[in-house]
Amino acid sequence: MTGFAPLSVDASSRAQKFSGKAYIVGPKWTHLPTLTIGLLGVQIFWSVEMGYASPYLLSLGLSKSSMAIVFLAGPLSGLIMQPLIGVLADTSTSRFGRRRPYMLLGTVVCVLAMLLLGYTRGFAALFTTWHSPSNDKLTVALAVLAIYLIDFSINAVMAMDRALLVDTLPPAAQASGNAWAARMHGVGAVVGFFVGSIPLPAMFPFLGTTQLQVLSVIVSVLLFGGHLTMTICVKERVLLRSIDHSPGKRPNAFLREVRELWSSLLTLPPVIRQICIIQFFAWIAWFPLLFYTTIYIGDLYKRATPTSATATPAARDAEATRLGTRALFYSAILALLLNVLLPAFVATPATRTRTRTRTRARRPWLDVPERAKVNLASLWAASHLVLGLCMLGTLLTESVAGATVLISATGFSWALTQWAPFSLLAEAILTTPDADSSNARDSILLSDARTPAADDDPEAAGDGETAVFLPRPSEQPEPGSDDESDHDDDDASRETRAAAGPAGVLGNHHARVSRVNLDGGDSAWEDVGELEGQGQAQGQGGGLSAKAGIILGIHNVFIVVPQFLVTGISAVVFAIFDPVPAPPILPPPSNGTELARGLADGAREVLVLVRELTKDEVAERGGQSNSVVYIFRLGGVAALIASVLCWRLARELRHR
């Protein structure tokens, strides 16, 4: 492929030396569930925030415009925390590993922040009088603080969960690990939205009187329990202290990462650049859908249901939130089912057709006819089309049932969003040559699918190999080079690589298989080799594979930036189309005459009527109470643009 300047490889990233070996405690069949169980709690946390944070802030008296500003916490945390925690963890020399200390610390902050969100008014009452104006203001301030703490800490935890997966698994098991991560996300979404749709205070009255209070306790226990299990059962390699990774060098390392991120952004290969642009438009649609769905359906419910003298505003708000959470629950169920089924319908690249023959013979239910399979990029494009049509469908429905159907259908799109772009990125990273290398012209891009003879080293035997690069013998690393620095504690491994000749420089010899697996979860355990080992060794391999972390960071930026854009647009739209804030109710004069008291009482009644007219009648007559639909329709247009761009990408990939 021509027409681009490939990413350069920073030689300083190869100077890391480790001691020990990364492995997972327990039987082999528990390795991947154990390694990804933390993501289950992370997704449950996200589900609670998506379903309850918005209506809770509105119930505290915050306007929709102000609420939109509060949710800047999400993109801010993604833009700041993930790169920052990545740099800090990469240079950590803790004897407990690079990832687990930050993961556990972030989990503790998450738990405390979620409990603060659930019991905000109770915490505020420790410093103010219950339900006083000062208590209301402090409650709002603490709720906003809790949301920011949750977003920043959960992003740190999620980044460490993903990094631990990459560090622990060999390349051949990365696809299976990501498939398990997608399953945990799917199950977490279903559990989070389902639990949120049942009356928890009636079942656990000792935990609180509101749904959010009980939920905050339950999800905190699940998050902490899952990450405590990971901390105990997953063992990391320890980064050895060196001059380059001393504490005084960390600021320089951070600046170097920023400079490298910028230079890499300017030299992205075309396929990776297209994926990032597609994600930019797609997340203009996803951000409002994830955070404003409960408000959208709740407003439809309030407009369709007349105010009852017996129903309190709190009861109406609770029912509206429950209906919005139910729609998200249906969407999560569909996404989980499709995450299991869709990988079998993805067209398998020709280089891996023969390597799956034995697996399919053992599991014939995985054998889907080739004519029924679809290119992954085409399937991803179809998901954007469905998303755009569903969001534009808000023009055609004003009922809770119709809106629930539209939101539920987006589960198809969400299922593909969770893994399709990452699989396409992995394929692009591992199959794009690094022409900037000094020896790139002497390297040949090839696909090697060889089966060793029976008398070969069993450690090298497997279903097949796909090598991205086969360097010339002259390109072998010199003894003592950085490529061998990560294995100073394993003399046998060095001897094996030395005896292997040119093949020894292809990367981790424990992995045995170097290929991109788009099938997700259909890889058998016997195809991925042992999960015990050093995982992804620093400094091994070349080309774009050495820049995978940088590329994923750039990809994350293209997801975060549209969230800032949507937040600003939402604040403006809500300020324009929402009803005016209700006027305050003034107390009667304390030392006036009876006439003054009568006038004050009459004024209070008029203001109450104005408030009700503002909230209900004006909104219904003007059709302005559900201003979220305007953001949804803007997202629908952006999703259609993403669909067109994705179809073009699919056409290009088919002709490669």
Quick: pLDDT tens for 181-213. Answer: 888 888 998 888 888 778 888 889 998 888 889
Is the pLDDT at 647 greater than 90, yes or no? Answer: yes
Q: Could you read off the pLDDT of 590-606 as tens digits, one per residue?
A: 444 444 445 445 544 54
Two structure tokens written together for 117: 């969100």
The pLDDT of residue 432: 66
Average pLDDT of every residue of the chain: 73
Strand-pair partners of 598 = none
The CA-to-CA distance between both ends of the chain, in Å, stands at 9
Q: What is the dihedral of CA 569, 317, 389, 65, to 10 degrees?
A: 0
In a domain, 464, yes or no: no
Confirm if 237 and 20 have CB atoms less than 8 A apart. yes
Which DSSP symbol is given to 267?
Answer: T
**C-alpha pair distances (Å), 639 with each of 350, 421, 521, 571, 588:** 31, 15, 27, 21, 54
At 339, give phi and psi (nearest 5°).
Answer: -65, -30
Helices (H), 126-199: 133-168, 171-196
Asked, for residue 304, whether it belongs to a domain, the answer is yes
Structure token digits, residue 431 = 């199959």
Residue 204 in tokens: 């656990």
Phi, psi (degrees; rounded to nearest 5) at 7 = -75, 140
What does the pLDDT read at residue 607?
43
Share of residues in the chain with pLDDT > 90 (%): 25
Per-residue pLDDT at 460: 40
Question: Could you give the percent of the chain with pLDDT greater than 70?
Answer: 66
Residue 503 lies inside a defined structural domain of this protein: no
Give the tens place of pLDDT for each residue, 135-145.
889 999 999 99
- Does the pLDDT value for residue 622 go beyond 50? no
Q: pLDDT tens-digit profile of 227-280?
A: 999 999 998 888 887 655 455 555 566 677 677 777 777 888 889 999 999 999
Provide the CA 95 distance to its chain's centre, in angstroms: 28
Residue 512 lies in a domain: no
Q: Which of 143-157, 264-278, 548-562, 586-600 has the lowest mean pLDDT?
A: 586-600
C-alpha span between 278 and 559 (Å, rounded): 10
For 381-427, write each residue's pLDDT tens digit: 999 999 999 999 999 988 999 999 999 999 999 989 988 888 888 77
DSSP 210-266: SHHHHHHHHHHHHHHHHHHHHHHHEE--EEPP-STTSGGGHHHHHHHHHHHHHHHHH
What's the CATH number where 239 sits?
1.20.1250.20
Nearest to 647 by CA among 353, 471, 388, 288: 388
Q: How many domains does the chain have?
A: 1
Instruction: Say if residues 468 and 514 touch (Cβ distance below 8 Å).
Output: yes
pLDDT, tens digit (0-9, with 9 covering 90-100), for 313-367: 777 888 888 888 899 999 999 998 988 888 888 876 544 444 444 444 445 555 6
DSSP E strand boundaries for 475-623: none
Instruction: Encode burial over 94-125: b for 16+ CB neighbours within 10 A, e otherwise.
Output: eeebbbbbbbbebbebbbebbbbbbbbbebbb
Q: Is residue 116 part of a domain?
A: yes
20: left (phi over 0), alpha (psi -120 to 50) or beta: left
Q: And the tokens for 515?
A: 């290929």
Contact 138, 128 (CB under 8 A): yes
Say whether pLDDT at 151 is over 80.
yes
What pLDDT score was predicted for residue 534?
42
Cα–Cα distance between 423 and 178 in angstroms, integer?
9
Higher pLDDT, 21 or 306: 21
Residue type, 641: I
The confidence score (pLDDT) of residue 249 equals 52
Structure-token pair, residue 197? 């749709």
List pLDDT tens digits, range 30-82: 899 999 999 999 999 888 888 888 889 988 888 888 888 888 888 888 888 87
Residue 489 in this model has a pLDDT that exceeds 50: no
Q: Which of 331-340, 514-523, 604-613 has the lowest mean pLDDT?
A: 514-523
List C-alpha distances in Å: 166 to 12, 162, 172, 241, 590.
20, 6, 11, 21, 68
Q: Measure the CA–CA gap between 348 and 374, rounded to whole angstroms.
A: 9
Assess contact for 63 and 576: CB atoms under 8 A: no
Would you call 591 exposed, middle or buried from its count of C-beta atoms within 10 A (0-12, 13-18, 19+)? exposed
Q: How confident is the model at residue 91 (pLDDT cuts 50, 70, 90)?
A: confident
Residue at 537 is within a domain? no
In a domain, 607, yes or no: no
d(CA 649, CA 275): 8
pLDDT at site 363: 52
d(CA 555, CA 277): 9
* CB contact set of 431 (below 8 Å; sequence gap of 6+): 445, 468, 516
Length of the chain: 656
Give the model confidence (pLDDT) of 414-442 as tens digits: 989 988 888 888 778 777 665 444 444 43
Q: What is the DSSP letter of 485?
A: G
Q: Give the closest residue to 285 by CA, choosing from 392, 142, 397, 133.
A: 392
State residue 418 phi and psi, 5-degree precision: -75, -20
Q: Which of 414-428, 471-485, 532-546 has the lowest mean pLDDT?
A: 471-485
Q: Tell me if 133 is assigned to some domain.
A: yes
pLDDT for 510 beyond 50:
no
pLDDT at 225 over 80: yes
Give the pTM: 0.68
Closest by alpha carbon to 436, among 4, 7, 1?
A: 7
The boundaries of the domain holding residue 24 are 11-433+546-578+625-654
Which amino acid would we find at residue 124?
A
What is the pLDDT at residue 254? 61
